[in-house]
A and B are shown apart, each in its own frame.
Chain A
């Protein structure tokens, strides 16, 4: 059974600092891995999706890497802003059209 872990559970940084969020998974046989953002009282917004054949994806200030052999993914957010404050969740999917297995999330606070 796939297990996804995110450490730390919470993170506080001053504005402008780079953010590094970690995600680990136990079963390397994944189809893809997604990073989501969740604001309080809201649903999940997809940030980046990395196919199992890829090693990284970039979108603006966001970069996500994937190392299947070690069961790890990392989300980098450059030059953090207060608007980046949210909970960030990673999720692994075993096959196309299949269910997502989520980590517990990392709650990020970027202080002005």
Chain B
């Protein structure tokens, strides 16, 4: 497809388990963002990649959260030892870098809804 693809769409895990969430950005997009959206709230920034380089991880809430993009395309967000407060929708977005367009909206996937029991 032409859009940002995220999998799985839904994930249920028991507290303490590790989870991995996948994001396939739009082909050719070099910038990739992860956001966390709690129920009834706006998304909050987690981390940002340009190609394979993680340029900003200031939004990751704890060291249990880890993101990677080893080949500069697909990205994985991993949460270790999940807690109930990790329950949220995790959104991925991709965009082109500035030198290609000064008007570069981020394109969002449908998200992964994570529920921790």
Tell me if B105 is interfacial: C-beta within 8 Å of chain A: yes
Q: Which residues of B contact A60 (CB under 8 A)?
A: none
Which listed residue, B50, B97, B107, touches A46 by the CB 8 Å rule? Answer: B107
Contact between chains at A46 and B59 (CB < 8 Å): no
Cα A89 to Cα B35 with chains together (Å):
14
- State whether the Cβ of A44 lies closer than 8 Å to any Cβ in chain B: yes
Q: Once the chains bind, are A43 and B50 in contact (CB under 8 Å)?
A: no
Q: Confirm or deny: B25 has a beta carbon within 8 angstroms of a beta carbon on chain A.
A: no
B108 interfacial by beta-carbon distance below 8 Å: yes
Interface size on A, residues (CB 8 A): 25
Give 29 CB contacts A-B under 8 Å.
A4-B42, A41-B110, A41-B113, A42-B110, A42-B111, A43-B4, A43-B108, A44-B91, A44-B93, A45-B108, A46-B106, A51-B102, A89-B43, A91-B42, A96-B102, A97-B95, A97-B104, A98-B48, A99-B45, A99-B48, A99-B56, A100-B33, A100-B35, A100-B45, A100-B93, A101-B45, A103-B42, A105-B41, A105-B42
Closest 10 CB pairs of A and B: A102-B42, A96-B98, A43-B108, A99-B45, A44-B108, A46-B105, A43-B110, A104-B42, A102-B43, A43-B109
Interface residues of A (CB under 8 A from B): 4, 6, 32, 34, 36, 41-46, 49, 51, 89, 91, 96-105
